[in-house]
Amino acid sequence: MPVIIALVLLNGRQEDEDFLFLKLFGYLFLATLGLRLIFLPIPLGFLLFYFLLRPRSKLNEDQKHAAAWWGLGLYVVSLLISIMP
């Protein structure tokens, strides 16, 4: 699923950028990482992206942010699946 999302985001790029697929896949994978403290799930990867790793280059910034948001969505879906009986 993450590979398909990264490929879809790659098709919407505005400018050519080296290794864009790997960057999108990395942002997507990073955003799916989480941490559970007792009963509170924390989307650690997305918070790390949002506060520390925001793309510094303006090339394809929208796709990189979209990859992080899709990763957060996959994290939420995995949480919902894990609480289902």
What are the residue ranges spanned by the domains of the chain?
2-83
Contacts of 46 (CB under 8 A, 6+ apart): 30, 31, 68, 71, 72, 75
Tens-digit pLDDT profile for residues 19-62 = 989 999 999 999 999 998 888 899 999 999 988 877 677 888 88
Distance CA 63, CA 85 (A): 35
3-state secondary structure (DSSP) of residue 39: coil
Distance CA 64, CA 10 (A): 10
Tens-digit pLDDT profile for residues 3-15 = 888 888 888 888 8
Q: How distant, in Å, are the alpha carbons of 17, 31, 56, 57 from that of 74?
A: 25, 8, 24, 25
